[in-house]
């Protein structure tokens, strides 16, 4: 399938402020782009797109005092297959984990594992290790937490989400990640584009989406406690320990987000062909 994706936002700063925007598809998806990545700024100014060690691509700019309008757009080819499901995937023993996965067992800003450790072991004690355990965690989180935009709080941790019984996609991900880490399964946070591709169109506006990846056997697998069904049309932007590592907008000074619109829509092959004719290589 072919997806048109991007975003438009407005922010206001009282003084010139350095800003990082995380909206470009992940480095691993560059070969799938069908059109140029177009970034527009008002007022016009210099931008840089820089990749970190994890392949996350940051757009760096200096926002002036006053209003800044920022937009990003591109077209990408995306598999129409849903997330892989492999019930036989085993849990990797702690002593056999790749060294770079251990940091995804630690507590992080929004994943306060210490406060959830006893509950995690009590709740999931009888579940077989491996895929079945991660899926049981997703089932449990999906059943415990109500999706509610009104429940958003900037500093909301996994334990806060559990206490509230409500949250948005990133809160579902943080809670599931925390439970996985409590049970010795490395888990990392993912942010990206995921609209209504493959499911009925809902009333809520499209936003940046969050899911997570769990390390089982010898690789990472996608899980999504918010939707809790295999989905197609995911476009990864970034991975981190939690949302604190990969915010879509980070300013090094005070700013106010005035508006945000996220675009993720499936287009025809003909539309993608037109886009590909304009691709800059």
Q: Is the pLDDT of residue 248 over 50?
A: yes
pLDDT for 276 equals 46
Mean pLDDT of the 162-169 span: 96
pLDDT for 270 equals 58
Residue 272: pLDDT band with limits 50, 70, 90: low
Would you state the structure tokens that stand for residue 94, as one six-digit string?
Answer: 């702690």
Residue showing tokens 């415990």:
144
Mean pLDDT, the chain, integer: 94
pLDDT for 271 equals 57
Q: Is the pLDDT of residue 277 over 70?
A: no
Are the CB atoms for 159 and 120 separated by under 8 Å?
Answer: no
Predicted model pTM: 0.93
Q: In what order do the strands lie in the sheet with 187-193?
A: 219-223, 208-216, 187-193, 235-240
CA-to-CA separations, 280 to 3, 31, 59, 152, in angstroms, rounded = 18, 12, 19, 39
Q: Is the pLDDT of residue 273 over 60?
A: no
Q: Is the pLDDT of residue 269 over 80?
A: no
Tell me the per-residue pLDDT of 107-153, one tens digit each, with 9 for 90 and over.
999 999 999 999 999 999 999 999 999 999 999 999 999 999 999 99
- Mind listing the domains of the chain with CATH numbers? 2-78+247-273 (2.60.40.2250), 94-233 (3.10.620.30)
pLDDT for 268 equals 81
Q: Is the pLDDT of residue 183 over 70?
A: yes
Percentage with pLDDT > 70 across the chain: 95
Q: Is the pLDDT of residue 208 over 70?
A: yes
Residue 200: pLDDT band with limits 50, 70, 90: confident
HSE (CB half, 13 Å, CA atoms) of 212?
34
pLDDT for 131 equals 98
pLDDT for 133 equals 98
Find the helix or strand (DSSP H, E) in which 125 lies: none
Mean pLDDT of the 240-250 span: 97
The two beta strands, 57-63 and 17-21, are antiparallel
Are the CB atoms for 77 and 232 separated by under 8 Å?
Answer: no
């Amino acid at each position: 399938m072919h997806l048109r994706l991007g975003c438009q936002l407005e922010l206001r700063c009282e003084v010139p402020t350095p800003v990082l925007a995380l909206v470009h598809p992940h480095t691993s998806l560059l070969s799938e782009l069908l059109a140029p990545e177009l970034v527009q700024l008002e007022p016009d100014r210099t931008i840089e797109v820089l990749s970190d060690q994890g392949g996350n691509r940051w757009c760096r700019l200096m926002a002036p005092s006053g209003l800044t309008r920022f937009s990003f757009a591109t077209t990408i080819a995306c598999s129409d297959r849903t997330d892989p499901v492999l019930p036989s995937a085993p849990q990797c023993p702690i002593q056999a984990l790749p060294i770079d996965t251990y940091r995804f067992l630690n507590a992080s800003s929004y994943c306060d594992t210490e406060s959830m450790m006893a509950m995690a072991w009590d709740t999931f004690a009888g579940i077989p290790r491996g895929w079945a355990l991660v899926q049981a965690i997703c089932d449990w989180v999906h059943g415990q937490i109500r999706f509610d935009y009104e429940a958003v709080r900037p500093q909301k941790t996994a334990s806060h989400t559990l206490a509230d019984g409500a949250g948005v996609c990133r809160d579902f991900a943080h809670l599931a990640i925390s439970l996985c880490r409590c049970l010795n399964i490395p888990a990392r946070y993912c942010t990206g584009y995921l609209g209504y591709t493959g499911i009925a169109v809902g009333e809520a506006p499209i936003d940046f989406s969050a899911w997570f990846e769990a390390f089982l056997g010898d690789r990472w697998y996608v899980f999504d406690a918010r939707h809790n069904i295999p989905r197609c049309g995911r476009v990864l932007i970034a991975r981190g320990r939690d949302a604190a590592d990969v915010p879509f907008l980070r300013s090094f000074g005070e700013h106010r987000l005035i508006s945000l619109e996220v675009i993720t829509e499936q287009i025809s092959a003909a539309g993608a062909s037109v886009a590909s004719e304009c691709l800059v290589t």
